[in-house]
């Protein structure tokens, strides 16, 4: 009997061990499948060594406080109290408000606010802050803005604060500290164009909305050229994550005109996927047409739904313009346009016109590339389709341009 019981116990132990081994193998298999999926979706390396994800939508994180998100020294936390109206304050370690009419708040208000991490990139980190008494704002933290001293920085911020255009995100306030800078802007409800195009909501953008986005971006860029003639590259950071969309999908450009206050080495490294050929490399020299190249790449991104990096075209070209040209050369033009873009039927001629304008903006030869005035004129000539009687995209109405 004792021998029989020993055998039974041994079999039970063996069964438990086999079950545990099966569970372990299942877990290991799932991990391997995840790794294979991750490997298939890995990005590629851009010319400056950065890894560009195949899905460039900014990572988000649970709500945190600004005090967790950014480090602000004691000198910056004097004051406090509820948000109130007012103008500029002492610039030494405190928020400086650009416009007298805006609701004013202190650093302590930001420290108490709940904050949602919107993302981080080459320029810095950004957070959506919900003030206890006041508006929702976006706080952008920069560590590589040491290209100029305090006085020049403040003068440039005041210059940007005077800009007013429906297609530009207004600068609300800034904070200057040697180790970091904070820029405060309005929160724009529908997020960035990049999030919509490359997230799971690309189908929300039909042909009409996409055309209006391109037109608005071009108008905002044109206003920068008119108001900031002293800058060779008035925007300098034009890309889909810096095109923000309001409740009616009207676009507004953000992170504009910051190149003058960046450190030179950092300014040379950013936004490789959108950067004009003449700007690439340690000896790159920007021109007045460099922003036009970025506008062209942005327009191609809107039309194709493809992220600008890692698109292999003919003759080894790896930019989006090269890929589009290779597809057209092979007479596969129908494959260019985003399959998630509705509303294109009957508007193919206008879509092709916009595609041609975008490609002319992306001429590597600067002499052949459009200037901004010509690019804007070409974009404005594209006819908008009539709005649908009932939108299946959102429950929100659209304003007319």
Per-residue model confidence as pLDDT tens digits over 189-201 = 999 999 999 987 7
Q: Give the C-alpha separation, 130 to 134, whole Å.
A: 8
Residues 15-50: pLDDT tens digits? 667 766 666 666 555 554 444 333 333 344 333 333
64-186 CATH choice from 3.30.200.20, 3.40.50.300, 3.20.20.140, 3.30.1490.20 = 3.30.200.20
Q: Which tokens hold the place of 145?
A: 């803005």
pLDDT score for 315: 43
Tell me what the mean pLDDT of segment 279-301 comes to: 91
* pLDDT, greater one: 69 or 107: 107
- Domain limits, the chain: 64-186, 193-380
Q: Which residues contact 17 (CB under 8 A, 6 or more apart)?
A: none
pLDDT score for 383: 96
Tell me what the mean pLDDT of segment 133-139 comes to: 88
* pLDDT, greater one: 296 or 60: 296
Residues 41-96: pLDDT tens digits? 334 433 333 334 434 443 344 444 454 444 343 333 334 444 554 444 445 678 99
The conformational region for residue 257 under phi > 0 = left, psi -120 to 50 = alpha, else beta, is left
* First-to-last C-alpha distance (Å) of the chain: 92
Rounded (5°) CA angle 170-173-179: 125
Could you tell me the fold of the domain covering 193-380?
Answer: Transferase(Phosphotransferase); domain 1 (1.10.510)
DSSP, collapsed to helix, strand or coil, labels residue 39 as helix
Q: What are phi and psi of 354, to 5 degrees?
A: -65, -40
pLDDT score for 270: 66
- Compute the mean pLDDT over every residue in the chain, rounded to the nearest whole number: 78
Judged against a pLDDT cut of 70, whether residue 309 lies above it is answered with yes
Give the DSSP letter of residue 22: H
- Percentage of the chain exceeding pLDDT 90: 46
């Amino acid at each position: 009997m004792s021998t029989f019981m020993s055998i039974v116990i041994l079999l039970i132990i063996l069964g438990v061990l086999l079950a545990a081994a099966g569970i372990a193998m299942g877990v290991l298999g799932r991990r391997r499948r995840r790794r294979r999926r991750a490997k298939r979706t890995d990005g590629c390396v851009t010319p400056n060594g950065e890894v560009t994800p195949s899905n460039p939508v900014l990572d988000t994180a649970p709500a945190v406080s600004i005090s967790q998100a950014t480090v602000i020294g004691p000198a910056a936390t004097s004051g406090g109290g509820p948000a109130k109206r007012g103008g500029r304050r002492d610039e030494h370690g405190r928020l400086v408000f650009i416009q007298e009419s805006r609701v004013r708040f202190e650093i302590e208000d930001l420290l108490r606010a709940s904050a949602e991490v919107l993302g981080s990139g080459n320029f810095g980190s950004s957070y959506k802050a919900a003030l206890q008494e006041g508006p929702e704002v976006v706080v952008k933290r920069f560590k590589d803005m040491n290209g100029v001293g305090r006085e020049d920085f403040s003068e440039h911020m005041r210059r940007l604060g005077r800009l007013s255009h429906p297609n530009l995100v207004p600068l609300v306030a800034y904070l200057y500290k040697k180790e970091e800078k904070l820029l405060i802007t309005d929160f724009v409800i529908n997020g960035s164009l990049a999030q919509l195009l490359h997230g799971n909501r690309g189908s929300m953008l039909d042909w009409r909305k996409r055309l209006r986005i391109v037109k608005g971006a071009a108008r905002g860029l044109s206003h920068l050229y008119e108001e900031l003639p002293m800058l060779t590259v008035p925007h300098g950071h034009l890309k889909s994550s810096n095109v923000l969309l309001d409740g009616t999908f009207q676009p507004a450009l953000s992170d504009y005109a910051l190149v003058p206050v960046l450190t030179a080495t950092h300014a040379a490294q950013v936004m490789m996927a959108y950067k004009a050929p003449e700007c690439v490399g340690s000896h790159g020299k920007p021109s007045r047409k460099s922003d036009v190249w970025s506008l062209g790449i942005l327009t191609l991104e809107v039309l194709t739904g493809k992220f600008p990096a890692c698109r292999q075209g003919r003759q080894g070209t790896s930019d989006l313009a090269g890929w589009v040209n290779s597809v057209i050369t092979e007479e596969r033009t129908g494959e260019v346009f985003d399959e998630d873009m509705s509303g294109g039927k009957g508007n193919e001629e206008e879509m092709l016109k916009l595609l041609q304008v975008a490609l002319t903006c992306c001429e590597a030869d600067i002499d052949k590339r459009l200037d901004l005035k010509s690019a804007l004129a070409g974009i404005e000539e594209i006819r908008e389709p009539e709005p649908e009687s009932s939108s299946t995209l959102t429950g929100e109405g659209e304003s007319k341009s």
